[in-house]
Structure 1
Amino acid sequence: MSADVESVAAAPRPAQGQPAPCRASRSLREILILLVAAVALPLITLNVAAVSSGQARARARAEAELLERVRGLAHRLDAEFRVAQATLDGLGASAALAGGDLETFEGEMRTVSARNGGAPVTLVNRAGRVVLTTAWAPGERRVGVPAPEDARRVVASGKAEVSNLFAGTVTGRAAIGVGVPVPSPAGPPGHGLGLSFSRERLAAMLLQANPSAAEGEVGILADRTGRIVARTVNDAETAGLPGRPEVVARLHAAPEGLIRGLPTREGTPAVIAFARAPLSGYHAVLTMPEASFEAPLRAELRRALLGSALAVAVGLGLALALARTVIRAFGRVAAAGGDAAPTPASTGLREADRLLGALARAAAERRQATEGRMLLLREVDHRARNALAVALSLVRLTPRRDAAEFASAVEGRIAAMSRAHSLLAAESWRGVDLAALVGTELAPYADRVRAGGPPVRLAADAAQPVGMLLHELATNAAKHGALSAPRGRVELEWGLDDGDGALRLTWRERGGPAVARPARAGFGTRLLDTLAGRQLGATLARDWREEGLTATLNLPARHAAPA
């Protein structure tokens, strides 16, 4: 800031012999930075709280998505077993088997085996002996070969069953058997059919079911005992191994769920989702590294914090830019104070440009120029002091019980002053149209406020107090009155008295909660009385009827006139 600008911005020096004031002044730059901080910090706090809440919801969505995927894997596994059961049911209905033609039926069994990748198909009789199996050579017959326990149980119970992982009696390879009883019209099932497909078939299905798995994710299929049947990582090394006891205990305790805090077999911290297949009782498990699971949540938090930092940076940048513009503008005003020639270039600030124009036009006659400058400076000083005094009193007197509520209250009231100021500026401070002021201040509630009256123009010095008064009434109605209820409405009417020309403005609330005169006057009530009495010289009467508040403002004729 230049010395000329500092001399313009500084307070008048005290007369000789008087003590200098001790109160330190702040620069415009400091005030704007403090204003940005006062608005930004509560907003950042709310943003962080909203992000935290959003992260909890996002985590719940991610967990639900992981559970949905593992449920789908469990149903996909059961679908494999259902296909095998359906195939065996169709084979058991063979006429060759019913007629005892084992040679023809063996050919049908080998056809089914070939369609299932060579998986052995076995026929077991009620005595628990193997009659035919495609694992033998074509036409080979053996007598007295015992069937596996699972196959004997299927024939005895008459119920289809999926076995746990076992080692094949013929091939010695790990396999899973699907057995179905062959119905007999004469009584209990006389035979059972089994299809034993290799563990590798389920491993291939597991890989096919997870084409878009996250990096580091592991899919697992386990039988009813908790032994690993297939695994997308280190499959051959882990097949047939028992699951970890802490995981198996959870698999048996609930049909589905999530496990946190356990690492994978490779030692990676993971989130484990599991689901039990309803038909077979097998278990599907998905383990996702915690880093992959939390990465989207952390990225969202980083974006939110970066956005907050960017908003603060932009706010500070705009504040500094505005400060430079104002300082430069008033610096030029100070430099051109006594020039007779006008300054053609714009300062970038409307008020400063008007002041320069006034100075240039008044420079022709020294006396007129001096009187014009003094009048203009007095007017600017008066308006600035009034605006700053009102803003400062709002900041000082607004209750500070809650930081966010304090910031919102101060911001709303200063915004009401700003809106009235904008209307005045648009009309070159010659006054404002009352209907335009009402529409601007009550815009957020336009669909619930019915306003009307004759065309009236308010004087310039009454615009901001009336605007703030309307803002306070609307804010109170939104918190405690008609606008706080879904069906609440407000009627706003005004008119000029035929006798003394005074403006009467009536605010009626209907459809809200029942109201009563408050036990003590709050800050909003005191502010309304101050705006009406001290700033406008008006009277404000309030009637707390049960159906809603009615407030009547009588404004002296000097403040209003027909438009």
Structure 2
Amino acid sequence: MAADAEKTGLLRAGLRPFRMARRLRRRPPLIAYLIGFALVVMAPAILFSVFLILEFDRQQEEVALTQVADTAEIISNAVDREIFGMITTARVLASSPSIDANDLANFHLRTAVALDGSETNAALVTPNLDVVMNTRLPYPSPPRKVTYPPAIERAFVTGEPQVSGVFYGPVAGETVFYVAVPVRRGDTVPYVLAINKSAADLDEVVAARQLPHSWTAEISDDEKRSIVRVAPDPAEPAAPSDDRALEAEVRSQLSGWTTHVTVPGSAVERPIIRSWALLAWGTALLLLFCIFLAWYLGRKIARPIEVLKIQAERIGRGEPASAVSTEIMEIGEVSKVLAQASRDRREAEQQNRFLMREMTHRAKNQYALIAAIARRAAKESSDTTQFLATLSEALSSLARSADLLAGRGWDSASVAELAASQLRAFGAGGQIRASGPEVKINPSAAQTIGLAFHELATNAAKYGALSVDEGRVEIDWTLADDFSITWREIGGPMVVEPKRSGFGTLVTQKMTARGLGGSVHMAYDPAGVVWTLRAPLDTILAH
């Protein structure tokens, strides 16, 4: 018998955790609901952040690709200007009378003087590809054949200037290129004048573009020989491009050379990776904070609820029960209600249901207004930073109106209190005067007019009367057949009507007029902005 009793006790002890787990699945504790609520609230913000990062990634790649293409075009044009200058110089020298007089000694002297300091040299070549004059050598010097003849041969054949590729010049002792300009005399081409230049001199042309550190720019001739290469480490060979790299290539119509600009994918993706890392860290920290807050609030609320449960059980048994002492007002009120009669308790429950419906209605109106503001701000903003700033200011204005209405039980607010609440944030002191009869307006009108006050004050603080010490703002309202309110700026800088309407214009004019079923007139008087609102009484006054 003792053994059976022991087995039964062990069996019950083993089943107890399973029963507890099943009970938790059926009725999760308060902290689980709080954590779930926090996650639900966080999810839209996280998803929106992910969308913004993906959109930023796409725009970043488009901008980078445009910059790479523009840079390749700029470098190619800069090199073309250098080559065109050499061609122009060669054409001027080729028209020298000394060539016609076959006075090559004089031509050698004049050409050497003309090219002095230009880091270029000239050579006169015959159709047999003999160099009869070279400014690098004294005149006369033994005739010698052209080292790299393709461009000179094309110049003799076409009669048009030609640009060579790069090659090693034995006389110059370095890698050079040249422009070959035909010396035309009637229909014949007795000579070609070749102006040559060190390929290393083009490094300065490319370096003047000041490429970002990780970018690579390379210019190669029509035979794919590298002329100039600017890279983070020019001593290293060009690495094979990865799939993520951004590349642009421009071929010069003048020289036939190709300019290739490459940006590694890591340079483009680095800001995106930082954004993802910040989002991950921010999400983790926010999640930990929400869990801690849910745990703290769960304990704060659960403890008096447990005491309240004991009180309810005692009341159910007909035993006397004193009110629960707690810091949470609602639980204390419920404790008092439980101590009352059944009739009072039912009335309290009905009142609670009414309050919940009213709060839901208020919340829906608030969410709808915030959603409309967000859509307008997103439509009018040119980038994410401007959108977030605009939305933050609008929400701050709504929060001040909400604080004022909350202090009045969400029943009404006076125009004077509304103006003071919205304009206090701008610290204008005695620069603002508000006058008019005592008018109680409904919550919807208070939020709409409050948002308009905020936008008008923001504009005045930036550009208008509140931007200078001698400026002031006068707010006057009247109540007759309809409600009329005027915002007038005096003593500020001269007003210039904006060429385009932004988010502030939408709020102060279109949204205000549409939301209150009235009309708004905005006058950009040089002496100061004047804003006037007229609305019917049934959309303004509190019921």
How high is the TM-score relative to the length of structure 2?
0.54
Residue 201 of structure 1: aligned partner: 201
| Residue equivalent to 2:74 | 72
Residue by residue over 1:487-531, the C-alpha shift from the partner in whole angstroms, topping out at 9 and shown as x without a partner, is 997586xxxxxxxxxxxxxxx899xxxxxxxxxxxxxxxxxxxxx
**Corresponding residue of 2:273:** 298
2:241·2:264 contact (CA, 8 Å) conserved in 1?
no
What residue number does 2:38 align with?
36
Which residue does the alignment assign to 1:497? none
Please, which moves more after superposition, 72-81 or 24-33?
Answer: 24-33
Secondary structure (helix, strand or coil) at the match of 2:31 reads: helix
State the secondary structure of the residue aligned to 1:76.
helix
Is 1:426 the equivalent of 2:426? no
- For 1:89 and 1:394, the matched residues in 2 are separated by 84
Q: 2:220 aligns with which of 218, 222, 225?
A: 222
Residue equivalent to 1:415:
none
Q: Secondary structure at the match of 1:115?
A: coil
**Range with greater deviation from structure 2 (299-308 or 59-68):** 299-308
Map 1:41-440 to 2 at 5 A.
Answer: 41-117=43-119, 119-125=120-126, 128-140=129-141, 142=143, 148-168=149-169, 170=171, 173-184=174-185, 186-203=186-203, 205-207=205-207, 209-210=209-210, 212-214=212-214, 217-232=215-230, 264-265=239-240, 270-323=245-298, 326=301, 338=322, 347=327, 381-387=349-355, 426-427=407-408, 432=412, 435-439=441-445
Is contact 1:161–1:180 with CA below 8 Å preserved after alignment?
Answer: yes
Q: How many residue pairs were aligned?
A: 384
Change (3 A) 1:142 1:421: closer
Instruction: Answer whether contact 1:128 1:147 (CA < 8 A) is retained.
Output: no
Deviation for aligned residue 1:190: 4.2
Aligned runs of 1:16-31 on 2, under 5 Å?
25-31=27-33
Q: Report if aligned partners of 1:264, 1:270 keep a CA contact under 8 Å in 2.
A: no
1:125–1:191 contact (8 Å) kept in structure 2: yes
Say if 1:181 and 1:193, in contact at 8 Å, map to a contact too.
Answer: yes
Change (3 A) 1:422 1:267: closer
Unaligned runs of 5+ in 1: 1-20, 239-262, 360-367, 396-403, 409-417, 456-482, 493-507, 511-551, 554-559
Classify the secondary structure of the residue corresponding to 2:266: helix
What do the CA deviations read for 1:18-53 (whole angstroms, capped 9, x no partner)?
xxx999555443333222222221332232123212
Once the two structures are superposed, the pairs formed by residues 474-553 of structure 1 within 5 Å of their partners are 490=514
The 8 Å contact of residues 181 and 189 in structure 1, kept in 2 or not, is answered as: yes
**Identical aligned pairs, as a percentage?**
20
State the one-letter code of the partner of 2:408: E
Compared CA separation, residues 24 and 170, structure 1 to 2 (3 A): closer
Deviation digits for residues 443-475 of structure 1, max 9, x if unmatched?
79979xxxx9999xxxxxxxxxxxxxxxxxxxx
Secondary structure at the counterpart of residue 254 of structure 2: coil
CA contact (8 A) 2:112 2:135 kept: yes
Structure 2 counterpart of 1:546: none
Gaps of 5+ in 2: 1-22, 312-320, 364-370, 376-398, 414-439, 454-478, 483-506, 520-537
Question: For 1:230 and 1:135, how far apart are their aligned partners in 2?
Answer: 24
Question: 1:453, 1:350 → 2: CA distance?
Answer: 43
What is the identity, as a one-letter code, of the residue corresponding to 1:226?
K
Distance 1:333 1:437, change over 3 A: farther
Q: Cα RMSD (Å) of the superposition?
A: 5.5
Shift of 1:122: 0.6
Higher helix proportion (structure 1 or 2) = 2
* Structure 2 contact 218–259 (Cα < 8 Å) conserved: yes
Kept in 1: contact 2:111–2:122 (CA 8 A): yes
Offset, 1:99: 4.4
- Alignment correspondent of 2:500: none
Query: 1:134-170 deviations in whole A, cap 9, x for unaligned?
Result: 2433332538879924224324433222112234375
Distance in 1, Cα, partners of 2:255 & 2:33: 72
Mapped partners of 1:289, 1:126: distance in 2: 48
Which amino acid in 2 is paired with 1:200? A
- SS of 2:441's equivalent in the other structure is helix
Tell whether the 8 Å contact from 1:163 to 1:176 is kept in structure 2 after alignment.
yes
Give how far 1:106 is off. 0.7
Is the partner of 1:138 in helix, strand or coil? coil
